[in-house]
Amino acid sequence: MNRKIIIAGGGTGGHIFPAVAIAGALKQQDPSIELLFVGAKGKMEMEKIPQAGYRIEGIDIAGFNRSSLIKNIGLPFKLIRSFFQVNDILRRFMPDAVIGVGGYSSFPVLRSAQAKGIPTFIHESNSFAGKSNILLGKKATRIFVASDGMEKFFPAGRISVVGNPVRSVIVQSRLTREEGIRFFGLDPALPTVLSTGGSLGAKGINEAIAARLDDFGKNDLQLIWQTGKPFAEQAAVLGAGRNKVWTRDFIPQMEYAFAAADIVVSRSGAMSIAELCVARKPVVFVPFPFAAEDHQTVNAQHLVDKHAGLMVKDSEAKEKLVDTVLALAKDKARQSELSSNIGRLAITDAGDRIAAEILKAIKA
């Protein structure tokens, strides 16, 4: 009999991409397995998961809005409705297990599965566990984490330290630099900078790049600029007529961008770091300053201490980011050192280990 697994969560690439990596590993280890994703209606997983070749069902769920309390009025009703929708999905699909990867939709799905006695698994990518995952962890069958010291959040006996799963297209990429650069219609003879603020964009990074866009061309640098939706129009106007600037709101084929890049500018979320370690690129990190417990700064500092990355604070990005990139572009020895040291931190088998443990648990 075919095994059935639900993977729940999303909201950002940091939740979606590890989910896709786990799904790919499950399919590789058991091709007969049936997978269903559950996400939040209106969030990016509803678009990205089908693009990755998987089926997804949406539920009506939203997070607490800290900036506008009036927008939270309908939240209890949405939560109640989402539980009814989840129960309907569980009844129809009858999963053998449910995996939560974080994001709004993972809570009602895993909570409902636990109430029905269905085995549940959590993947926590950050070194600071989210509140939903902490609650769900009390009854989870297994909790997969990226780093040591997570006993303060989860029952110690159920933790597996596996690292963060990276999409197979990035792990298995054999693309050359030239193939990557040609993909973006740029010049292989020029050094290339990739700026990415993650799947939803990064205001601090985008504004710093926009303010000094001329300096890239003046220093014979090319730019691949993933802006996120909020800054996309502005970047398109700024980039118009500049043949050394390629800009879009989102890059689905990130393996080409990593292949093309000589230097990367990035946020320092756990999943971004996991991918950059595998890609072995010199990185200037600009941590998102409002992350819980300021964990992105902690993440970036961890790499800086190992000479595996540089860091510019978001509040100082406008003054320092482009100058830091220009100085690194001129320093080949520093690029080589950063690339070598970040590459040593790469974990390429996290998805396989998670899949193997889940399949073993549900076959037991």
pLDDT tens-place values along the chain, 364 residues long: 789 999 999 887 788 989 999 999 999 999 999 999 999 998 889 999 999 999 999 998 766 555 555 665 666 777 788 889 999 999 999 999 999 998 888 999 999 999 999 999 999 998 888 888 999 999 999 999 998 899 999 999 999 999 999 988 999 999 999 999 999 999 999 999 999 986 666 899 999 999 999 999 999 999 999 999 899 999 999 999 898 999 999 998 999 999 999 999 999 999 999 999 999 999 999 999 988 778 899 899 999 999 999 999 999 999 999 999 999 999 999 999 999 999 999 999 999 999 999 999 998 6
**Rounded to whole angstroms, how far apart are CA atoms 163 and 150?**
12
Give me the residue label for tokens 């303060």. Answer: 152
Which helix H or strand E contains 104, and what residues bound it?
A: none
Please, what is the end-to-end C-alpha distance for the chain in angstroms?
14
**Rounded to whole angstroms, how far apart are CA atoms 202 and 51?**
23
pLDDT for residue 68? 57
pLDDT for residue 118? 97
pLDDT for residue 74? 62
CA 22 to chain centre: 13
CATH topology of domain 4-166+348-363: Rossmann fold (3.40.50)
pLDDT for residue 69? 59
3-class SS of residue 259: helix
Which helix H or strand E contains 206, and what residues bound it?
A: helix 203-211
User: Do 2 and 34 form a contact (C-beta atoms < 8 A)?
Assistant: yes
pLDDT for residue 82? 85
pLDDT for residue 200? 65
Tens of pLDDT, residues 206-250: 999 999 999 999 999 999 999 998 999 999 999 998 989 999 999
**Rounded to whole angstroms, how far apart are CA atoms 41 and 11?**
10
Q: Which of 109, 111, 141, 147 is nearest to 129 (CA)?
A: 147
Domain residue ranges of the chain, discontinuous segments joined by +? 4-166+348-363, 170-343
Residues 6+ apart with CB under 8 A from 299: 127, 268, 269, 270, 273, 285, 287
Q: Residue 163 — left, alpha, or beta (φ > 0 → left; ψ -120 to 50 → alpha)? A: left
Please tell me if the domain spanning 4-166+348-363 has the same topology as the one spanning 170-343.
Answer: yes
Q: Which CATH superfamily is domain 170-343 in?
A: Glycogen Phosphorylase B; (3.40.50.2000)
Indicate the length of the chain as a whole number: 364
pLDDT for residue 215? 96
- Supply the pTM of this predicted model: 0.87
CA 39 to chain centre: 15
